[in-house]
Amino acid sequence: MSRLFETPSEKASENLSAREMASDPARLAPEFSLDQRRTLLLIAHQAILSVLERRPSPEVPPLPPGLSDPRGVFTTLYLRCGLPGDRAGDLWRRLRGCVGYAVPIAPLYRAVAETARAAAFEDSRFLPVTNEEAPELEVSLSVLSRLFPIHPEAVRVGRHGLVISRGARRGLLLPQVAVEHGWDRETFLEQTCRKAGLPLDAWRKAATVEAFTADVFSDADVELPL
């Protein structure tokens, strides 16, 4: 199963929460209920802890409806960090790993567990997550719709994620990336081409442009007790 590595933002202190992104009128209404979100986030945390504690993967808890359907998903990990002199709770976040499946190749609950473990221990841009870091990890999940062809003029920043491909080259950027960086539509298309290793104007030529939507949520949005 092919995994993709993603970098949501290089400016961790400026990342938007799912709640803030939901205020954008271009965003879709949330697909998953609070109970479903909490269950998926708990599965992600438990998958990481099982590796750190060297124990078998935990049994899957009773699942709310809809979490066994095959879905693409990206799991992004942030490390909550306090700044010197900050008041209690005045935190910033830095990216700690991000891995995902762009296509629905596994039941959602299993895809979350697998991508969470991969983000924590297999993202080659980072050292593996440690026991000391685990309590400060914040998990963000982006559950993807199926890919669909889209005309570049129809791309809506904040609503659509993009996949641009030509031949064996393929690049993916999540919907929140363009929002976090303040990109307009054309810049979003160019940066997805860059991610694929293609010329920035490839989207105007022979490259295939596909889009997806995503339901994005994190620990901070559901106040998950760990």
- pLDDT value, residue 13: 30
* Nearest CA among 138, 136, 133, 140 for reference residue 52: 133
User: Which pLDDT belongs to residue 88?
Assistant: 47
> Reduced to 3 states, what is the DSSP secondary structure of residue 101?
strand
pTM to 2 decimal places: 0.79
Q: What is the largest CA-CA distance in the chain?
A: 53
Tell me, what's the pLDDT at 64? 80
Q: How far apart (Å, rounded) are the C-alpha atoms in residues 97 and 117? A: 10
As a whole number of angstroms, the distance between CA 160 and CA 81 comes to 30
Q: Class assignment of domain 4-222?
A: alpha beta
Q: What are phi and psi of 21, to 5 degrees?
A: -65, -30
Q: What percentage of the chain carries pLDDT values higher than 70?
A: 82
Residues of the chain with pLDDT under 50: 1, 7-27, 84-85, 87-89, 225-226
Give pLDDT, residue 163: 96
The pLDDT score that the predictor gives to residue 57 is 79
pLDDT tens track for 16-62: 344 444 444 444 578 899 999 999 999 999 999 999 999 887 777 77
pLDDT at 91: 59
Q: Domain boundaries in the chain?
A: 4-222
Given this model, what pLDDT does residue 67 score?
94
**Confidence (pLDDT) at 5:** 54
